[in-house]
Amino acid sequence: MADANEKTQGQLLSEKLSFKIKNVWETAGEKEIAQACGFAEEYKRFLDLGKTEREFTGLCLQALREEGFAPIEEALDRGGVLKPGDRVYRNLRDKALLCAIIGERPLRDGLAIAGAHVDSPRIDLKTNPLYEDSGFALFDTHYYGGIKHYQWTAIPLAMHGVVVGRDGQKKNLCVGEDAGDPVFTISDLLPHLAQEQMEKKASDFLGGEELDILAGSRPYRDEKAEEKVKLTVLQILNETCGMTEEDFASAEIEFVPAFKARDVGLDRSMIGAYGHDDRSCAYAAFFAALRCAPPGSAPEKTIVCFLSDKEEVGSMGNTGAESRALENFLAYLGRLAGGTGFSPEDLRRALEKSSMLSADVNAAYDPNFAQVYDKKTASWFGKGMALSKYTGRRGKLGGSEANAEFCRRVQAILDRNGVRWQYGNLGKVDKGGGGTIALYAANLGMDVLDCGIPVLSMHSPFEVISKIDLYTTYRGYLAFLKEA
């Protein structure tokens, strides 16, 4: 008689040949789970203070300075030489940044790079936004990135931005974040009168021009003044940050959800917040870069973290990943490497020999919308860092695909370091698709793999991620930067 507990040949063969992805909450040690929860607390605090690309970049620049990073321009102006362990950064117009820790090996051997984006979908003001209608002062807007318009109505919004006066003085604006602050909102039509509206397709029942924001309703008390409600708002703006109506023409003013990051679920396993795409990956990648070599020590290869802007509108422009910013940064690092100099060919070779993780969120499997996901290749909450071998839509169009060799190399690094990873493909074939910054880096000749954190309700005002995925992904980026 065979022992009932003894495994059959089929069971043993299945164990040997099949690939099963486990839930990290079930497999991680208690210490790791405690660390993950602590990491989530720090992340929530950071996210609440960094709700725009400028604010997030500002927080990162502050962290860089505290951790002994110096502006690369200083070394360039000095004609200095960077040694292994030296830490430098480049601020890209206060909206994006690059930072590096110089490694032991020459740049020609390639760099280990983590890249993410720090912009998120939002509501921007037009250049002449303030108007008065029917007793209301309103802000006219142009939304930024791929949003479902209707999700942004009837929620509290906060005003964030930068105003540059005639004298060139820059002033930051932030209204709606402190408990005592007023907030803003986009009004929505009551269901009682929405009969016609509800019959329209969701894509047109609320147009981009119908996203105007309530700014006030109290007339300035003066018999002779015109547009008195608008005047009250202008007066308050002038008192708050010295601006006049003309300043809107150059200002960058963004409206984002006014609520803070919160734990989601009775078990507090998830975080709901505005801007997880892509600040969850940006945060994980940035702090992995900061911590991959303690001060005074040097990583093997030079490591770089690139936090880019404008991904949600196509990555173009002087702060986007399609720009020359990454290439230029490597050229500057080469210029500062000393030795026998750094030729244009050396730069090309450094780029081609580099490896990068394109750190971006993935659409988590959502049981509410099961029909658009392929369960076999979707990313799942709690199952760790999602690897997206390729992106694109309808026949992989316009995407980027990582080589088999490079994918395997990344998987091996993760496995060696006990970092759980899972698949991360965006939906069923022909159901849609998307892109990231990966292709712009891949175009420079380097190996790039998309990977990041699964997110629910992507591009909505309140996106949700799993705490354990956030921490696992951070550990994945850390392992990659150390060992790539």
Residue nearest to Mn ion (CB): 278
Min dist. Cβ of residue 460 to Mn ion (A): 11
Angle between helices 30-49 and 467-483 (to 10 degrees): 100
Q: In this structure, what is the dihedral angle of CA atoms 6, 9, 11, 13, given to the nearest 10 degrees?
A: 140
Min dist. Cβ of residue 360 to Mn ion (A): 4
Contact of 206 with 149, CB cutoff 8 Å: yes
Min dist. Cβ of residue 330 to Mn ion (A): 23
CB-nearer residue toward Mn ion: 55 or 311: 311
CB-nearer residue toward Mn ion: 254 or 278: 278
**421-423 and 385-388 beta bridge pairing:** parallel
The amino acid that residue 41 corresponds to is: E
Q: Using omega within 30 degrees of 0 as the cis cutoff, is the peptide bond preceding 278 cis? A: yes
CB-nearer residue toward Mn ion: 330 or 426: 426
CB-nearer residue toward Mn ion: 232 or 323: 323
CA distances from 173 to 122, 125, 239 (A): 16, 13, 12
CB-nearer residue toward Mn ion: 278 or 322: 278
The amino acid that residue 102 corresponds to is: I
CA distances from 211 to 59, 123, 160, 287 (A): 30, 8, 17, 36
Contact of 145 with 119, CB cutoff 8 Å: yes
CA distances from 182 to 87, 134, 171, 258, 291 (A): 41, 21, 19, 10, 39
Min dist. Cβ of residue 203 to Mn ion (A): 18
**CB atoms near residue 4 (< 10 Å):** 5
- CA dist 157 and 393 (Å) reads 33
At 274 the three-state DSSP class reads coil
Give the residues lining the site for Mn ion (CB under 5 A): 277-278, 360
CB-nearer residue toward Mn ion: 121 or 161: 121
Min dist. Cβ of residue 259 to Mn ion (A): 19
CB-nearer residue toward Mn ion: 277 or 401: 277
CB-nearer residue toward Mn ion: 132 or 360: 360
CB-nearer residue toward Mn ion: 350 or 437: 437
**CB atoms near residue 168 (< 10 Å):** 6
Min dist. Cβ of residue 437 to Mn ion (A): 8
277 conformational bin, left if phi > 0, alpha if psi -120 to 50, beta if neither: beta
Min dist. Cβ of residue 278 to Mn ion (A): 4
| Structure token digits, residue 148 | 């479902």
- CA dist 93 and 91 (Å) reads 6
Min dist. Cβ of residue 233 to Mn ion (A): 32
Radius of gyration, alpha carbons of the chain: 25
CB-nearer residue toward Mn ion: 277 or 346: 277
Min dist. Cβ of residue 311 to Mn ion (A): 6
Residues paired with 320 in a beta bridge: 309
Min dist. Cβ of residue 483 to Mn ion (A): 25
CA distances from 282 to 43, 46, 146, 160, 277 (A): 11, 11, 19, 20, 9
